[in-house]
Amino acid sequence: MNRLISVSTLDDIAPEYQNTPIGLMLEYHNLNRPLDIYTQAHLLIGMCMDNRKRLRIPDNFAYIIRSGGGNLSQSEFKVSYAIAVGGVSSIALVGHNNCGMVGLAAKKEKFISGLVKKTGWEKGRAEEHFMRFAPSFEIRNEIDFVLSEAKRLRLLYPGIQVAPILYRVEDNLLYMVREQEKS
């Protein structure tokens, strides 16, 4: 089943996201909508720290929290701040394909040897560091993760619109993620 919904026209944007900050983000990035001028953020974007992704959005339009895999589980205070003080009403959770957090366990030796070589850490310290944090950031599947994280954030912040989005690194476009199977 294809879970990605392409956005190449205004009509492709799901009705619940049209005329919202999430819809505007899709318009700016995918449809080359001219960049408007903003004096305050309207959106919080949670996305991966991966260097291959860059969004085309106006200055001051969104708060952006970057973390491994777009995992906001240790950033709740920052999310709460963006909502309570920053005034955002929507969260776009932007995962991406080919994420380095997928299959993290298989990268254990490279992680450890890289820390030892580049930082001078002892191997035991690097291994303990990996074992302590890797389970919190491991992602089995980018689409399933972005869906589960969106669900978690909706439960935590009822009344805030949360959209699961996937960025495809091959074409640099954003895709809405279908949350339910088509009948």
Binding residues: 96, 99
Give CA–CA dist 96/120, Å, rounded: 32
Q: If you ran DSSP here, which 8-state letter would residue 36 be given?
A: P
- Exposure class string for 99-121: b at 16+ Cβ within 10 A, else e: bebbebeeeeeebbeebbeeeeb
Alpha-carbon distances of 148 from 3, 38, 47, 154, rounded to whole Å: 14, 31, 14, 10
Is the CB of residue 166 less than 8 Å from the CB of residue 97?
yes
- Strand ranges inside the chain, DSSP E: 4-6, 43-47, 62-66, 90-96, 161-168, 173-177
Are 141 and 95 in contact by the 8 Å Cβ rule? The answer is no
Binding-site residues for Zn(2+), in ranges, read: 96, 99
